[in-house]
Each structure stands twice: as C-alpha cells, then as structure tokens.
Amino acid sequence: MFTAPVTLMGPTAPPSTESATAVRASGNRLYRTVGNAGSLAIGASVFSVEGWFKWASLPAVDGNRFSMVAKHSDGAGGPPDDSESFRLSHYRLSGATYLNFGFSDSGASGGSSTERIRWAFTPTVGVWYHIAGTCNMPSGGNPSGLIKCYVDGVDQGSGTVEANGGTVGAMYPGTSGWSQIEIFSDQRGNPAAEYFDGKADEIRIWNDVRTGGEINANMNQELVNPTGEANLVAYWQFDQPSPLNDLSGNGNTLTNVGVVFTNDVAF
C-alpha cells in the first residue's frame, strides 16, 4: 500500500494496515447533525481531535481559513452560523500560515468566551500529515500548555495564545437540532475559499486528552477494535463499502456534500 513521505520529524511508519479510501474536497464537505446531545456533545473541554490531511493548496489570502474538523451550528433557519463549539483549522495571517485549535463555552468564536492557540505551520502541498489537537481545560485558565497540537506525532510546543477566556471551562455543547460536526468546513454556507482544499483520512474524536505516546502508537494504523476503545466518540476510516460510517459504535454517520473518494490513502 501507499506510504506517504513526511517532511517533519516523526516515528517510522509500520507496515500499512489501511485498506481502501480517503476523501477529497474542494469547496465541499462532510457533516453530521448532532445537536446538543449524544456522543459528540462533548460538554467538558477535555477532548482530542486527530486525522491525516494532505493539502492540494494553501490559504492564499490573509484571513482565509481551511477548516479541517469543527463543530458549528448549521445556521439554516436555526441559530447564527458563528455558533461554535470547537475548531481545528489551518489559516493565513500576515502572509504566514498556522494551525489553529480551540473551543468556545458560549458559541461565540472569539473574545472572553474562547480559548484558542495557533502554531506556525506551512505544509508541503501533496504530502500527508497527521494532525492532532488536544484540550485539557475543565476549569479554564490560560490555554498555554493545556491546548496542544501534534504534527506527525511531534508536540508543536506552546504556540501563540489567540484568545484566553480565563474562566472558560465547559465547552459549548451545541444547539438542539442545529449543531453539526463538519469535516472540510466549519459552517454551512461558509465561502468555498475557506473550505479545506485537499484530502483527509482516519478522522477520530475522543472525549479525553490523548497523550503524545497514544498518538504516536496509533496514528499509522487503523484502530483494530474501535468499539472497544475507551473514550472514542467518533471514528471515520472512509473505507469502502460504507465510507461514511462511524466505526466507534456511536452512530455518527456522515452526510456527503460533493466530496469524492480516492485511493490515495495516508498509510
């Protein structure tokens, strides 16, 4: 099977166990309507998001944001589109590009209700990277050191604090009937220039803080017994014949809006 080269330091990949497909997006998205209940409510701000991503292009204009995995309100007849729970993204600021990870307790995307950090990161187009964000802020505080990012299993350090809500603790759980988990976008109706342009594989969401050791031990392989994994709340392998199914056992099947499947897989 295909083993992608990486340009950053990380562990040597073991023999591949990846079996089929990844997904390709350009102005398209995958989503799951979850509301404020179920496994993806994640009310406590103790959680992790990880997956493999390959960029086809980079954000070209300051302010452009390529959303990778997020939870936002749907906005179609419901609450405002900017009602945010969490977001892992890549964006451009002052000519440089950054990974960005954080959450909100009120649904607002900035200000005193948000904890968010950015890390400088300019990926090579056409190369697979494993990206993970972890958050351990049940009682709020300064997010430095409590919100982390890993690239190919390597801790990216303290980064730059973009928003520090101070007393923020619980994450905004979402709005009943409207909130969605989004892959490749962060809200319905967002301009296509801010959709992730590239591919994704092996997306996992946990309601605990994954350690660097856990990330490194599992990132180069499929989870063998996902329904037996403690704290795994969603897992999309994108493998055929049911590429949109959630293999965690929590029933978070995705809806496809124009995303194409590809045999170019992460490992």
Report for 51-60, 236-245, 258-267: range of highest mean pLDDT: 51-60
Give the mean model confidence (pLDDT) for residues 50-60. 94
Instruction: Read off the pLDDT band of 16 (50, 70, 90).
Output: very low
Chain length of the chain: 267
**Residues of the chain by 3-state class (helix, strand, coil), percent to 5:** 5, 40, 55
List phi, psi (to 5°) of 201: -155, 150
Instruction: Read off the pLDDT band of 18 (50, 70, 90).
Output: very low
Answer whether residue 10 is part of any domain.
no
| Residue 131 near residue 151, CB atoms below 8 Å | yes
| Residue 139 near residue 81, CB atoms below 8 Å | no
Give the mean model confidence (pLDDT) for residues 183-202. 74
How many Cβ atoms are within 10 Å of 81's Cβ, its own excluded? 17
pLDDT tops 90 at residue 211: yes
Give the mean model confidence (pLDDT) for residues 28-45. 71
Amino acid at 57: S
Amino acid at 99: L
More confident residue, 264 or 123: 123
Amino acid at 68: M
| Residue 254 near residue 30, CB atoms below 8 Å | yes
Out of 8-12, 126-130, 206-210, 240-244, which region has the weakest mean confidence (pLDDT)?
A: 8-12
Answer whether residue 258 is part of any domain.
yes
Total number of domains in the chain = 1
Answer whether residue 7 is part of any domain.
no
- 67-100 tens-digit pLDDT: 899 887 655 545 555 577 888 999 999 999 999 9
What's the CA gap between 200 and 22, in Å, rounded? Answer: 6
CATH number of the domain within which 54 lies? 2.60.120.200
Answer whether residue 8 is part of any domain.
no
What does the pLDDT read at residue 102? 85
pLDDT tops 60 at residue 107: yes
Give the mean model confidence (pLDDT) for residues 223-250. 93
What does the pLDDT read at residue 12? 32
How many Cβ atoms are within 10 Å of 216's Cβ, its own excluded? 18
What does the pLDDT read at residue 241? 86
Burial of 127-148, coded b for 16+ CB within 10 Å and e otherwise, reads: ebbbbbbbbbbeebbebeebbb
What does the pLDDT read at residue 2? 34
What does the pLDDT read at residue 229? 97
Instruction: Read off the pLDDT band of 226 (50, 70, 90).
Output: very high
Residue 67, CA distances (Å) to 54, 127, 196 in order = 13, 18, 6
In the three-class reduction of DSSP (H, G, I as helix; E, B as strand; rest coil), residue 58 is classed as coil
What does the pLDDT read at residue 76? 52
Q: Across all residues in the chain, what is the average pLDDT?
A: 80
Answer whether residue 17 is part of any domain.
no
More confident residue, 167 or 240: 240
Of the CA atoms within 13 Å of residue 223, those in its CB half-sphere come to 26
Answer whether residue 5 is part of any domain.
no
Answer whether residue 52 is part of any domain.
yes
Domain residues for the domain of 31 are 22-262
Give the mean model confidence (pLDDT) for residues 139-143. 75
Instruction: Read off the pLDDT band of 9 (50, 70, 90).
Output: very low
Answer whether residue 1 is part of any domain.
no
